[in-house]
Amino acid sequence: MPLLLVDGLHVRYGAIVALRGMSLTVDEGEIVGLIGVNGAGKSTTMNAIMQVVRPERGRIEYNGASLIGLAPEAIIRRGVAPVMEGRRIFPGLTVEENLKLGAAIRSDREAIRADIERWCAFFPILGERLTKPAGTLSGGQQQMLAVARALMSRPRLLLMDEPSLGLAPKLVSEVFTLIAELRDLGMTILLVEQNVRKTLDIVDRAYLVNTGRVEFAGTPDEIRQQADLEQAYLGGGREAGGGRNASPSASRLPPPASARTSIRG
């Protein structure tokens, strides 16, 4: 049984159909990538998992139980933590207050304090700035705070939506290093990224998403072997300015392999 199962998800915003049969699985201990051009439906998938947007139909199951209809807080209580697009930290609150908000679902004060120390050791800059307003942190530091805050809920599954977006190249590399380190700590991660090459370097599997559904799924090697496919998705980086026109022709592509079993078994 996968830790997360998304099956046949349909989401629309009024007349705009954002997801049309989105399906994916994430097994415990995996890092799974969700790759696609602007508007492909990646954030909508994340928001649907958190039930911030309600799907018209389809299944979302975490640890064997449906998440449909739950409040986002109830989903966080079950062990899912989002690091959503645009790092929504509270700039007027201190770094420490932001971290405590991440633990809002918990009441084990001593353990919360210990976790703050743990993540400040992991992200030393946060420890140094603990009593400073979060708004005084640099963009990269705020991203670290957003991740640390999500970790404060002690999640089993981390949902990360474009954690490297808007960061300087050096910081982008640091974010990818961080993700690999979190995997080594045993975290399970669903990662949305436009940085295709770096994503393929760290994920166990990835899904290529186009117009609201999976176009191809496989291991990084399998995806790299689809040279034209990788090329099409490589065009989607924001910095590269490829954007929406980089969409590949669906008819040339192999059928979705969303039911493919995990390479980790």
Ligand X SMILES: Nc1ncnc2c1ncn2[C@@H]1O[C@H](COP(=O)(O)OP(=O)(O)OP(=O)(O)O)[C@@H](O)[C@H]1O
Shortest CB 164 distance to ligand X, Å: 12
Binding flag, residue 195, Mg ion (CB under 5 A): no
Site string for ligand X, 105-134 (x = CB under 6 A): ------------------------------
Stretch that binds Mg ion, among 2-10, 35-43, 112-120, 151-159 (CB under 5 A): 35-43
Q: Is 87 in the site for ligand X (CB under 6 A)?
A: no
* Min CB(86)–Mg ion separation in Å: 9
Q: Are strands 80-83 and 157-161 parallel, antiparallel or unpaired?
A: parallel
Q: Which is nearer to ligand X, 40 or 150 (CB)?
A: 40
Q: Among residues 12 and 154, whose Cβ is nearest to ligand X?
A: 12
Q: Which of 23, 25, 44, 210 binds ligand X (CB under 6 A)?
A: 44
Computed on alpha carbons and rounded to an integer, the radius of gyration of the chain in Å comes to 18
| Residue among 175, 191, 195 at smallest CA distance from 239 | 195
Q: Give the closest residue to 130 by CA, choosing from 138, 120, 140.
A: 120
Tokens in use for 37? 């051009």
Closest contact distance (angstroms) between CB of 210 and ligand X is 9
Q: Is 43 in the site for Mg ion (CB under 5 A)?
A: yes
Instruction: Provide the pairing of β-strand 65-66 with 31-35.
Output: unpaired
Report what 151 binds from Mg ion, ligand X, none; CB cut-off 5-8 Å by kind.
none
Please identify which residue in 13, 110, 184, 227 interacts with ligand X, judged by CB under 6 A.
Answer: 13
- Angstrom CA distances, 231 to 161, 172, 234, 248, stand at 22, 21, 5, 9
Which amino acid is present at 206? A
Q: Which residues of 167-199 are buried (b: 16+ CB within 10 A; e: fewer)?
A: beeebbebbbebbeebbeeebbbbbbbbbbebb
Quick check: 42 binds ligand X (CB under 6 A)? yes
29, 186 contact by CB (below 8 A)? yes
Q: Is 232 in the site for ligand X (CB under 6 A)?
A: no
When asked if residue 218 is in the footprint of ligand X (CB under 6 A), the reply is no
Q: Element (H or E) spanning 168, and its range?
A: none
User: Considering the rule CB under 6 A, would residue 164 count as an interface residue with ligand X?
Assistant: no
Contact residues for Mg ion, defined by CB under 5 A: 42-43
Contact residues for ligand X, defined by CB under 6 A: 13, 16, 18, 36, 38-44
